[in-house]
A and B are shown apart, each in its own frame.
Chain A
């Protein structure tokens, strides 16, 4: 066995490989693509951390999508995610290897795991970034994140503490094409793994939702607080069905319980890239629009002609969303 220090090429950018479901794995692949680009600018390697038990296929998949190095910790105690165990293991690895940059998806998992890890490592963390770049001369990670309630996009740097840590909003980057001919290096560190005995996983149940369907839908209909009620919001499902699409929601709608968390779009939710997005009764707050900027065509409906949503829409309709929705449904019923 060798000791850390004999191998310095795992010091560049690390991405935490979260493979636990389709949605989170896609975010990991997006981060690998971006991390690879940034690592190229820094002249460093892109390393993907793979923790778990019997995780060979994910290590191979990450190599196919651009990872130069896999840092694999395969242990039965890592089969189920436990935040204390995971953060202890990753903190030990980071201290031993000293990567400059550490990235994870801003999923429910990343939002719990990375702040704890940052605290252990006594470094900063930029949460929910929507863009990343590097200053190759200084070695700084430029972390673009919504600030001041989403009114501004701020570029954040961490000049002193290492590693530079960020969670990145899903859907911000395009994943690379699977390359079956790719070959990388795989490192098996001799790290101490101790299960957190205070927590025991009794059982896990997959969430019944629309994970993957919303992201892949060609048409997405989104309702905001301006829909006025749960009943009005439900009519969006009729429209989505006519158009062969899915329904998304803004934060106030989810908070009110008109739609589930799995339909939330934006900074703290999901990102979509449909061919057509119809957004009804949404003001256009940055927290929401970060999740829809990949849409090819946006049609916005709002009563306020000065609503920010019209600045990013291709077609704007000024009027009451409920009335326009009713007219639209009536017309579609006659035609289809």
Chain B
């Protein structure tokens, strides 16, 4: 019997590739001129999901740099729309780049991340799939400890692929 495996936090998880995970990285976090997406781990007491990344369009044109759910650079003139459950990040054309919705449970939180993201080569790295998103390409890893406080993804954290193998064919 085949299976997929991830980590799970008692406090907060992201739903990605139809799996729960306390946090994840696509690409090399804080890569200066490359695509990356960091959904950071929340510690008990923290309630707001923390998303950072550098996003490109399907032609590899740089659109936006986000740090901790705040826009740092925005040459693509993207629009951030906040909602009670999270936010929507839209291209000027109205097409959704990224969305984040957090569901509150009695003793925890679940954040669904969806979006259509490309890297600098114009390769698809994330697309919506069922109630979450499916990720593509190498270098995607699950996290069990936060990385944002160190301002970069540190090798000192034990991180491993979301499914400890190839990206599952969903």
Contact = CB atoms under 8 A, between A and B. Distances in A.
Nearest to A95: B1
A329 B7 CA distance: 58
Contacts of B7: 183-186
Contacts of B3: 1-4, 7, 187-190
Q: How large is the interface on A (under 10, 10 to 19, 20 to 34, 35 or more residues)?
A: 20 to 34
A59 B20 contact: yes
Interface in B1-48: 1-11, 13, 15, 18-20, 22, 43-45
Contacts of A190: 1-4
A180 B6 contact: no
B43 A56 contact: no
B107 A1 contact: no
B1 A183 contact: no
A271 to B, nearest CB: 24
Contacts of B105: 56-57, 60-61
A74 B6 CA distance: 15
Nearest to A179: B10
Nearest to B166: A1
Contact of A57 (B2, B110, B166): B110
A63 B10 contact: yes
Nearest to B168: A1
Interface of A: 1-4, 7, 56-57, 59-61, 63-64, 70, 74, 92-93, 96-97, 178-191
Given A1-B2, A1-B4, A64-B108, 4 more contacts: A60-B10, A60-B13, A188-B6, A190-B3
10 contacts: A2-B2, A2-B3, A4-B3, A7-B3, A63-B9, A96-B1, A180-B107, A184-B7, A184-B10, A189-B1
